Chains A and B, each alone.
Chain A
Amino acid sequence: MNVLIVDDNHAAADLLQELLVLQDHTACCTYTGQQALDVAARQRFDAALVDLTLPDFPGTEVARQLRAGARGEPPLLVAISGYAADEAGDAAGLFDHHLQKPIDFDVLDRILARPLAG
């Protein structure tokens, strides 16, 4: 899968990218919401892993714009946050999945494998 990572914690984003590459995915790191939207405007992604707390605007806004701006099938949207799902809220159904930090990689592997299997 081609995965977009959006996390203002550079170390976390960079490690996540390396792990995904080791799993035979391709991954692109961005560190702000605007960077993510700029990259997504130029390139199609199968999935986006979005931190909910970004310096410029909320991860939910990134998700909303990724979904709205998708040409064709929108990317699989995965919220990643130190906050639990009921604290961070995805009431609007913006995200397909919510992973709480520290990320369980077995769960992430299963999430990213599912669309390919389907």
Chain B
Amino acid sequence: MKASPGARSWMAAGVRHELLTRALPALRHEMAAPVSVIRMGVLLLKRQLANAAEARPDAAAMAERVALIEDQVAALAGGVRSLRDWELATHDDGITRSALVAQCATLMRVAFELNGIGLKLGEELAPVDGEPRFPAAAALRYMVLGALGHLHDSVPNLGEIRVEAVGGDGLRFVASHGAAEPVEPIAGAHRAPRALAIDAIALQALADGLGCAVTVEGESVRFGLGTAMALP
């Protein structure tokens, strides 16, 4: 029985879900950091106020603490808002290639490095003034994570993934092998054997669902940024 168009859409949705699941620890980490500072700041204020009978509280220090908490609340609010980055149906202003790569690399870098896998970005991917913005930023985020996830899951003894610009509107992800003896994984859960590996079929299903033309050549993945659709 051939998969119906509906079934292929579900398959693409499943791949997006898997990729978001992999990014979630980093997304949570980004929001836990300001919450942690807020909690400690409030606790410190409470303890200082509790001691106020014995020692006169330093008003300037307390005002500084409140300002710090306000900054962290703003950072947390930004983190909550940024969750919309993952909603395909959301209208967005598009994203530059350099920002796209930087954001996705930041999300996955810790997971990769804890397992001895380097993530290198080509110098040509540094931000420059007047860079074009590509529409369907959410779809492009999933495509970048999909390419990284595919190489992560399919290349044996992976040592490094290098991300390169292709022309003015494309990206290429190239895997290279590590040392003969794989590094003992520090964070086993990040590279645990996955029931849902992003194999070539899964990556193709993802790309089809996003309307993006992807090419897998050996241990590299390439796609253009101008082809993704805003809606699945």
Q: Do A and B actually bind?
A: yes
Interface residues, chain A, CB within 8 Å of chain B?
Answer: 9, 11-12, 15-16, 18-19, 22, 52-53, 58, 60, 81-84, 86-89, 91-92, 100-103, 105
| Interface contact A82-B113, CB-CB below 8 Å | no
Bound: A88/B114 CA distance, A: 8
| Interface contact A18-B68, CB-CB below 8 Å | no
B4 interface hit (Cβ, 8 Å): no
Interface residues, chain B, CB within 8 Å of chain A?
Answer: 25, 28-33, 35-41, 43-44, 47-48, 68, 72, 110, 113-114, 184-190
Bound: A82/B39 CA distance, A: 14
Q: Contacts A58-B113, A89-B114; is A19 near B37 (CB within 8 Å)? A: no
| Interface contact A89-B40, CB-CB below 8 Å | no
Measured CB to CB, the nearest residue on chain B to A12 is B37
| Interface contact A101-B36, CB-CB below 8 Å | yes
Measured CB to CB, the nearest residue on chain A to B48 is A22
| Interface contact B189-A82, CB-CB below 8 Å | no
Nearest CB in chain A: distance from B169 CB, A: 32
| Interface contact A84-B113, CB-CB below 8 Å | no
Measured CB to CB, the nearest residue on chain A to B47 is A22
Q: Contacts A53-B29, A82-B32; is A88 near B68 (CB within 8 Å)? A: no
| Interface contact B44-A58, CB-CB below 8 Å | no
Q: Report A-chain residues with C-beta under 8 Å of the C-beta of B72.
A: 11
Nearest CB in chain A: distance from B215 CB, A: 32
| Interchain CB contact (< 8 A) of B186 among A16, A19, A82, A89 | A89
Bound: A88/B32 CA distance, A: 14
| Interface contact A81-B40, CB-CB below 8 Å | no
| Interface contact A58-B35, CB-CB below 8 Å | no
Q: Report B-chain residues with C-beta under 8 Å of the C-beta of A60.
A: 114, 186
Bound: A11/B185 CA distance, A: 30
Bound: A11/B36 CA distance, A: 10
Q: Contacts A18-B44, A19-B44; is A11 near B190 (CB within 8 Å)? A: no
| Interchain CB contact (< 8 A) of A105 among B30, B31, B43, B187 | B43
Q: What are 24 A-B pairs with beta-carbon distances under 8 A?
A: A11-B72, A12-B37, A16-B40, A19-B40, A22-B47, A53-B29, A58-B114, A60-B114, A83-B28, A83-B110, A87-B25, A87-B190, A88-B114, A89-B185, A89-B186, A89-B188, A91-B188, A92-B186, A101-B32, A101-B35, A101-B36, A102-B35, A102-B39, A105-B43
| Interface contact B190-A89, CB-CB below 8 Å | yes
Measured CB to CB, the nearest residue on chain B to A81 is B29
Bound: A109/B92 CA distance, A: 45
Nearest CB in chain B: distance from A46 CB, A: 21
Q: Report B-chain residues with C-beta under 8 Å of the C-beta of A11.
A: 37, 68, 72
| Interface contact B36-A103, CB-CB below 8 Å | yes
| Interface contact A12-B33, CB-CB below 8 Å | yes
Nearest CB in chain B: distance from A77 CB, A: 14
| Interface contact B187-A87, CB-CB below 8 Å | yes
Bound: A97/B50 CA distance, A: 29
* Residue among B25, B110, B186 facing the most chain A CB atoms (10 A cut-off): B186
Q: Report A-chain residues with C-beta under 8 Å of the C-beta of B33.
A: 9, 12, 82, 101
Q: Contacts A86-B189, A88-B187; is A15 near B41 (CB within 8 Å)? A: yes
Bound: A83/B36 CA distance, A: 13
